[in-house]
């Protein structure tokens, strides 16, 4: 039996109950002092308890030590100082050590998860030291004996299992990174495990792709060999992913170690049945499973067989592209993401599956179309979809409940989650079996769920849990009452004996009240004193005086009450506590039996949980498609990219909430034959919607390849092997890189890695340097992508000269953002038209942005002079083909003042009446 379960069955330490009176002390002890079985005097040094603490802390120097003392986890010394500051709780002191006060703070055990979550989010790691024996046993060893304690768990960002510490709708991966090979042949192998669900992934990436791969997995913690901390690629990619970095000794990374750990974890003699593993895989697995064993103190989580994410079967998306498209992480706090826009799941597991598909779009057209068939079936049969979603709303998170039970960290509520999840699974399986629509994706889910619908072992387990558990299940095993009446005759008998004592206690209380004449006399209970008689201070004399003093023995005096006991009450207490203790022990034994029964079927339960998650994901995609009027894309292996009426999913919903409407636009990038564009140059003024247009087409590709309907009126998407989207500008000051250098680094990655099956989205290449340099770079980049890479792409630019590429390159074309002018300002139509833009409208955009009028007016003058070939301070010669937009504009610079200004200059304002002033304003307005 694990130490955690031993503690849950042990009697609480005296003075450490969670009841309101738990901290009430005998008269000789201050009520503010936390009483524990090994309480130390403030004047003593190096007490046995403190010696024990220092010994445990020495074994875990890099962790904040949560040291269990009754109903509190206490922290001492530097740990207390750090925790008090991070948590905003009071720092106190307790005794002395080496002549110095010992800093101390503490948190209640009942709320420890909340405090641990705050510490984990702030980068701390926590070691949890529990009491491993009943304090009564410690007392038998002598008056100075200390309750045995030791660390039962190390809490790190990647090893969380409690719901309070986790984000329900996303995986919490712990990843190990193994570097294999040298120079240009180096590969990074990744083993990732979510111990809260058992999901186990293997992947690998080249150095340029490592950042994107880690952002795809989004691990909470990354394990890396200490001697690789100097590897700039590994460290930079890990830090960019936002994960905590945990260095391990090189000895933890080894092929033999990984092979042995994998065999032990799945209890197999050979790995053939689990799949094929490279040396890099096994090296990463070895470090991963070693760390799990270390942090979980030897307890094994519920592991699913490792699944390899083959790079060739996924659309590769690099780190810059993921940031540009805001798939799951917004660039601005509180902004919507693509995930938030399309998430209509009703369970946490379904949300995790949706996120997994979104960040890992498939490059396998067969799998994509299987997923689309499932979505189509639930769109067509909306009544089936509604019934399934209604049932799924009652399904708890079985995967995480199963993991906690496997780690001996579960409670009755986890058994209840398994029960309710299996019940929901059976109901959903019955619905699917009766449905005429049976696409492969739904049929697979039905097969996985069918294990719990008949008279087989799975069905028997579901029915057993139904009979065993009450409807609303408590959280902890020490909270009795979760086993249903009628399930176990022995438990029922013990409960009846314990419950009958309530009647006896009520009668004894009434007898004592009548005997003493104190009608307010009560018989109460807490874990410090057990049962006692309580009266108000004003009534205490009635029990202390004759003739009652011989019967009632004084026990404690408080400010608001006086407590007594009697021999009769003490004898009754002994009988009651024996019955209650036996009942609790029997209930916990039944909990252990039920947990073992669940774990015997852990693989089938995990498959059922995954099936429900997939159904929720598909149902949510069908819901969003129907509500938002999405269309099924045609997905194949062609080079087509044909979208009609495409929309941006997040922007469209934001506009709809504000009462507006999104204007859909077409995008044709088929590249199928002479003069059919595979590359489009997008021009138009700022704020006209170029970036939105670029992003929405990239997102339509992502949504289509994840197996979702897309926001468009029609779409034909040839599978892209890689997606590159460089939109927006940012510097990297921490690494000493300017905005332009970041842009060029990302552009270089695109040019070196894109293939003819890739989709490339570029915004304003070359704008971070001088005009000639920027235009030259942009021109050369587009020529390379067109001639050498031959990929599909969209490029937005303010360099009007780039529109000439459509005349020279057979697969290039031009589109522009439509605008119109009205009263010296511009109106954005947010529509895409064929052909190049002929003006930038930069000055008008500056005016709309609120630039002062005098600055706008001066800019117009300078613009007119530049377009006429002269600078604002004299002749300026520019090559005729180099202005940003070289089409002539009818601006005429003049030094003559405006007629309206002339009239205003001659006015005698003081002589005007109000009516004359108003008439003059109307007249001047007509002259403007």
3-class secondary-structure state, position 221: strand
252 versus 917: the higher-pLDDT residue is: 252
Q: Does the annotation place 813 within a ligand binding site?
A: no
- Over residues 714-747, the pLDDT tens digits come to 999 999 999 999 886 554 444 556 777 877 888 8
CA dihedral 360, 365, 370, 375 (to 10 degrees): 70
453 versus 85: the higher-pLDDT residue is: 85
> For residue 663, what is the DSSP state?
-
Q: Mean per-residue pLDDT for 304-325? A: 90
pLDDT at 903: 73
- Over residues 328-337, the pLDDT tens digits come to 998 888 889 9
Q: Does the annotation place 369 within a ligand binding site?
A: no
Within this chain, do residues 463 and 348 fall inside the same structural domain, yes or no? yes
pLDDT at 253: 94
Instruction: Domain of residue 25: give its range.
Output: 3-155
Q: Mean per-residue pLDDT for 558-578? A: 89
Q: Does the annotation place 688 within a ligand binding site?
A: yes
pLDDT at 156: 94
**pLDDT greater than 90 at residue 468:** yes
Q: Does the annotation place 417 within a ligand binding site?
A: no
Within this chain, do residues 302 and 347 fall inside the same structural domain, yes or no? no
- In the chain, the percentage of residues whose pLDDT exceeds 90 is 50
**pLDDT greater than 80 at residue 384:** yes
**pLDDT greater than 60 at residue 804:** yes
Q: Mean per-residue pLDDT for 267-271? A: 91
The answer to the question of residue 596 being in a domain is no
> For residue 919, what is the DSSP state?
H
Report how far residue 621's alpha carbon sits from residue 616's, in angstroms, rounded to the nearest whole number: 9
Within this chain, do residues 123 and 204 fall inside the same structural domain, yes or no? no
Is residue 662 very low, low, confident or very high in pLDDT (cuts 50, 70, 90)? very high
- Over residues 759-769, the pLDDT tens digits come to 999 988 877 67
Q: How many domains does the structure of the chain reveal? A: 7
Residue showing tokens 């890396």: 224
Provide the CATH number for the domain around residue 86: 3.40.1170.10
Residue showing tokens 């947010």: 830
**Average pLDDT along the chain:** 84
Q: Does the annotation place 689 within a ligand binding site?
A: yes
Is residue 671 very low, low, confident or very high in pLDDT (cuts 50, 70, 90)? low
- Lowest mean pLDDT, pick from 33-42, 102-111, 785-794: 33-42
In Å, what is the CA distance from 794 to each residue of 144, 570, 700, 886? Answer: 77, 85, 14, 22
845 CB neighbour count, 10 Å cutoff: 18
Q: Mean per-residue pLDDT for 419-431? A: 92
Is residue 120 very low, low, confident or very high in pLDDT (cuts 50, 70, 90)? very high
Q: Which of 671, 859, 692 lies closest to 761 in space, CA to CA?
A: 692
Within this chain, do residues 190 and 257 fall inside the same structural domain, yes or no? yes
**pLDDT greater than 80 at residue 889:** no
3-class secondary-structure state, position 731: coil
The answer to the question of residue 843 being in a domain is no
Find out whether 477 and 588 touch, Cβ atoms under 8 Å: yes
Within this chain, do residues 723 and 695 fall inside the same structural domain, yes or no? yes
Report how far residue 621's alpha carbon sits from residue 643's, in angstroms, rounded to the nearest whole number: 20
Q: Which of 683, 695, 678 lies closest to 640 in space, CA to CA?
A: 678
**pLDDT greater than 80 at residue 454:** no
- Lowest mean pLDDT, pick from 113-122, 137-146, 542-551: 137-146
Q: Does the annotation place 242 within a ligand binding site?
A: no
For residue 390, report the phi and psi dihedrals to the nearest 5 degrees. -65, -40
Report how far residue 865's alpha carbon sits from residue 782's, in angstroms, rounded to the nearest whole number: 32
Q: What is the CA radius of gyration of the chain?
A: 36
Within this chain, do residues 536 and 428 fall inside the same structural domain, yes or no? no
- Over residues 507-521, the pLDDT tens digits come to 999 999 999 999 999
pLDDT at 143: 73
Half-sphere exposure of 448 (CA within 13 A, CB side): 22
The answer to the question of residue 316 being in a domain is no
Report how far residue 567's alpha carbon sits from residue 214's, in angstroms, rounded to the nearest whole number: 68
Q: Does the annotation place 519 within a ligand binding site?
A: no
Within this chain, do residues 192 and 295 fall inside the same structural domain, yes or no? yes
The answer to the question of residue 839 being in a domain is no
Provide the CATH number for the domain around residue 378: 1.10.1420.10
Provide the CATH number for the domain around residue 237: 3.30.420.110
The answer to the question of residue 388 being in a domain is yes
754 CB neighbour count, 10 Å cutoff: 24
Within this chain, do residues 780 and 652 fall inside the same structural domain, yes or no? yes
Q: Mean per-residue pLDDT for 231-251? A: 88
Q: Mean per-residue pLDDT for 288-315? A: 91
Report how far residue 552's alpha carbon sits from residue 74's, in angstroms, rounded to the nearest whole number: 38
Within this chain, do residues 808 and 661 fall inside the same structural domain, yes or no? yes
Provide the CATH number for the domain around residue 702: 3.40.50.300
In the chain the first and final C-alpha atoms are separated, in Å, by 91
Within this chain, do residues 774 and 881 fall inside the same structural domain, yes or no? no
Q: Mean per-residue pLDDT for 470-490? A: 86
> For residue 802, what is the DSSP state?
G
Q: Does the annotation place 686 within a ligand binding site?
A: yes
The answer to the question of residue 597 being in a domain is no
The answer to the question of residue 406 being in a domain is no
pLDDT at 56: 94
Report how far residue 733's alpha carbon sits from residue 52's, in angstroms, rounded to the nearest whole number: 47
Within this chain, do residues 881 and 820 fall inside the same structural domain, yes or no? no
- Lowest mean pLDDT, pick from 37-46, 155-164, 412-421: 37-46
Within this chain, do residues 387 and 429 fall inside the same structural domain, yes or no? yes
Burial class (CB in 10 A: 0-12, 13-18, 19+), 655: middle
The answer to the question of residue 433 being in a domain is yes
Is residue 100 very low, low, confident or very high in pLDDT (cuts 50, 70, 90)? confident
């Amino acid at each position: 039996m694990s130490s955690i379960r031993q503690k849950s069955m042990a009697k609480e330490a005296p003075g450490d109950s969670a009841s309101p009176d738990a901290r009430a002390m005998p008269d000789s002890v201050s009520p503010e002092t936390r009483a524990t079985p090994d309480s130390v005097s403030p004047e003593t040094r190096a007490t046995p308890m403190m010696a024990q603490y220092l010994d445990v802390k020495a074994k875990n120097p890099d962790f904040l030590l949560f040291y269990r003392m009754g109903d509190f986890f206490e922290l001492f010394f530097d740990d207390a100082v750090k925790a008090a500051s991070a948590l905003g709780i009071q720092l106190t002191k307790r005794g002395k050590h080496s002549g110095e006060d010992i800093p101390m703070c503490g948190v209640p055990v009942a709320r420890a998860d909340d405090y641990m979550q705050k510490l984990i989010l702030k980068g701390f790691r926590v070691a949890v030291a529990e009491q491993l024996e009943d304090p009564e046993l410690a007392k038998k060893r002598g008056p100075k004996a200390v309750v045995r304690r030791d660390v039962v768990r190390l809490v790190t960002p990647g090893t969380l299992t409690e719901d309070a510490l986790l984000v329900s709708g996303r995986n919490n991966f712990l990843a190990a990174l193994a570097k294999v090979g040298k120079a240009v042949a180096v590969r990074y192998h990744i083993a990732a495990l979510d111990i809260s669900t058992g999901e186990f992934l293997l992947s690998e990436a080249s150095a340029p792709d490592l950042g994107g791969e880690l952002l795809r997995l989004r691990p909470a913690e990354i394990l890396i060999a200490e001697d690789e901390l100097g590897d700039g690629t590994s460290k930079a990619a890990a830090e960019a992913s936002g994960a905590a970095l945990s260095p391990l000794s090189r000895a933890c990374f080894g092929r033999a170690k990984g092979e042995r750990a994998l065999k032990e974890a799945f209890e197999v003699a050979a790995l053939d049945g689990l799949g094929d593993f490279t040396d890099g895989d096994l090296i990463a697995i070895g470090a991963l499973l070693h760390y799990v064993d270390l942090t979980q103190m030897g307890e094994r989580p519920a592991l699913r067989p490792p699944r390899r994410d083959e790079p060739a079967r996924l659309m590769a998306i690099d780190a810059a592209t993921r940031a540009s498209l805001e798939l799951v992480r917004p660039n601005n706090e509180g902004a919507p993401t693509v995930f938030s826009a399309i998430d209509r799941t009703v369970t946490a597991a379904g949300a995790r599956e949706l996120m997994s598909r979104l960040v890992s779009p498939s490059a396998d057209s067969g799998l994509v179309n299987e997923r689309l068939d499932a979505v189509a079936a639930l769109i067509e049969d909306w009544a089936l979809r509604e019934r399934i979603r209604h049932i799924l709303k009652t399904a708890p998170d079985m995967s995480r409940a199963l993991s906690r039970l496997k780690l001996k960290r579960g409670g009755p509520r986890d058994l209840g989650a398994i029960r309710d999840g299996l019940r929901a699974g059976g109901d959903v399986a019955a619905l699917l079996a009766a449905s005429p629509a049976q696409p492969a994706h739904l049929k697979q889910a039905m097969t996985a769920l069918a294990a719990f619908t008949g008279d087989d072992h799975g069905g028997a387990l579901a029915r057993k849990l139904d009979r065993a558990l009450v409807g609303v299940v408590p959280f902890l095993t020490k909270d009795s009452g979760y086993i249903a009446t009628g399930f176990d005759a022995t438990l029922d008998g013990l409960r009846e004996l314990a419950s009958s004592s309530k009647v006896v206690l009520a009668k004894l209380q009434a007898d004592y009240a009548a005997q003493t004449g104190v009608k307010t006399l009560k018989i109460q209970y807490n874990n410090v004193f057990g049962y006692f008689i309580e009266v108000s201070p004003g009534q205490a004399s009635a029990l202390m005086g004759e003739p009652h003093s011989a019967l009632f023995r004084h026990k404690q005096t408080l400010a608001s009450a006086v407590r007594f006991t009697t021999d009769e009450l003490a004898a009754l207490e002994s009988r009651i506590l024996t019955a209650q203790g036996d009942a609790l022990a029997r209930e916990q034994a039944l909990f252990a039996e039920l947990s073992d029964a669940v774990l015997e079927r852990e693989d089938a339960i995990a498959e059922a949980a995954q099936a429900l998650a997939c159904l929720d994901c598909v149902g949510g995609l069908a819901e969003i498609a129907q509500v938002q009027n999405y269309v099924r894309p045609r997905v194949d292996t062609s080079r087509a990219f044909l979208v009609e009426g495409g929309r941006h999913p997040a922007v469209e919903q934001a506009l709809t909430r504000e009462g507006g409407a999104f204007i859909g636009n077409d995008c044709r990038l088929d590249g199928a034959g002479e003069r059919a564009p595979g590359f489009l140059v997008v021009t138009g003024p700022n704020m006209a919607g170029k970036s939105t247009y670029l992003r929405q087409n990239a997102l339509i590709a992502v949504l289509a390849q994840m197996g979702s309907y897309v926001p468009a009126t029609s779409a034909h998407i040839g599978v892209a092997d890689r997606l590159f989207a460089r939109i927006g500008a940012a510097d990297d000051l921490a690494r000493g890189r300017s905005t332009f250098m970041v842009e060029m680094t990302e552009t270089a990655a695109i040019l070196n890695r894109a293939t003819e099956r890739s989709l490339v989205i570029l915004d304003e290449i070359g704008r971070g340097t001088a005009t000639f340099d920027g235009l030259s770079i942009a021109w050369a980049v587009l020529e390379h992508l067109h001639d050498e890479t031959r990929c599909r792409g969209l490029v937005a630019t303010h360099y009007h000269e780039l529109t000439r590429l459509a005349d020279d390159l057979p697969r290039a074309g031009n589109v522009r953002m439509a605008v119109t002018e009205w009263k010296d300002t511009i109106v954005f139509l947010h529509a895409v038209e064929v052909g190049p833009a002929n003006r930038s409208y930069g000055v008008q955009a500056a005016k709309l942005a609120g630039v002062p009028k005098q600055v706008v007016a001066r800019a117009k003058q300078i613009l007119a002079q530049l377009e006429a070939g002269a600078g604002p301070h004299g002749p300026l010669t520019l090559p005729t083909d180099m202005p940003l937009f070289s089409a002539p504009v009818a601006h005429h610079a003049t030094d003559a003042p405006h007629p309206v200004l002339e009239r205003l200059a001659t006015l005698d304002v003081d002589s005007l009446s109000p009516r004359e002033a108003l008439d003059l304003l109307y007249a001047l307005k007509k002259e403007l």
